[in-house]
Amino acid sequence: MNYLKKAALSIAATAFVAGLSVSAQAVEWRGWNIHKPDYPNTVAMDKFAELVDAKTGGNVTVKMFHSGVLGSQPDAIEQVRIGGLAIGNFNLGPIGPMAAEANVVSLPFIFKDMGHMHRALDGEAGDKISAGMAKIGLIALAWYDSGARSFYNSKKPIMEPADVKGLKVRVMNNDLYSGMIAALGGNPSPMAFSEVYQSLKTGVVDGAENNWPSYESTGHFEVAGYYSLSQHLIIPECVCVNAKAYNDLSAADQKAVKDAARESAVLQRELWEKRAISSREKVMKAGVKFNEIPNKDAFMSAMEPVHEKYLAANPDLVPLVNLIKNTK
């Protein structure tokens, strides 16, 4: 073999080995998101994907599937747990039934306002919630905002707890929410997000509860025109990754992915603030009948049994609940 041939062969061999090592390292993650293209979470998850690619130098790429095309949220959470999907933007509501620590954020009125929720999540309470999620195979890389959820329905303004009596109200899949509606004398109807519009339209349910951006983006305001500002739940969301997928990465790539998630959360929170205002404006222009609730304490007292029952069944969570309540 002459010198040139040998050199060419050895270059080819090096490239082959390099190619192998690159492809052995490079992974593509499939990502789940329930929201439509222009929603803050969607824009932020796309940003996350872009940042992951850039920060890991292509070692990790994320292919996002938006608008819930990969299935319902409880199913997607399960898929990320077992590794069928790598990553998702999840609301902690449907995670709660699988991870007790994560469920404390679904106790009605546990957070006073968004600032309180941020401080709790950024501190020790957030660490405990993350640890609870890690136990079921989900690593929370960053927290997204989801505003405060209020009641809306097609029948009447809700001013006091008694107004919920007899109403069929859609809730996310979580017994705490069913208990919350039952405590007000309503009929809870757990249902996938994608089914709520038709159910409101055809009268399968009378109402539901959500933040301004989701009330608007789903078109629910077109079929349930009374929005009553109860703000009974402030539920954070996560960018959650399958534990094995994350732990299999090099330390440098883990950091890159975490940084990407945190940067995307900064963007999400900015976009969220703006969207909460523009969504509210949009539905009001469309003729939504909006009311404040004069006495929110009445709702808090009516929902208190939900806390009592939950903590009686989960006494080990009392310290975490107190930690949240005492977060200044």
Residues making contact with ligand BDP (CB under 6 A)? 34, 73, 91, 146, 172, 193, 210-211, 214
Q: What distance in Å separates the CA atoms of residue 120 and residue 111, rounded to the nearest whole number?
A: 9
Whichever of 214 and 231 has its CB closer to ligand BDP, that residue is: 214
For residue 14, the minimal CB distance to ligand BDP (Å) is 48
Tokens representing 229? 């500002």
Least distance in angstroms from the C-beta of 104 to ligand BDP: 18
**Nearest to ligand BDP of 214, 254 (CB atom):** 214
Minimum distance, C-beta of residue 149 to ligand BDP, in the bound complex (Å) = 7
CB nearer to ligand BDP: give 48 or 56: 48
Nearest to ligand BDP of 27, 204 (CB atom): 204
35, 216, 319 from 267: Cα distances, Å: 16, 20, 32
Q: How far apart are CA 63 and CA 296, in angstroms?
A: 43
Considering beta carbons, is residue 192 or 257 the nearer one to ligand BDP?
A: 192
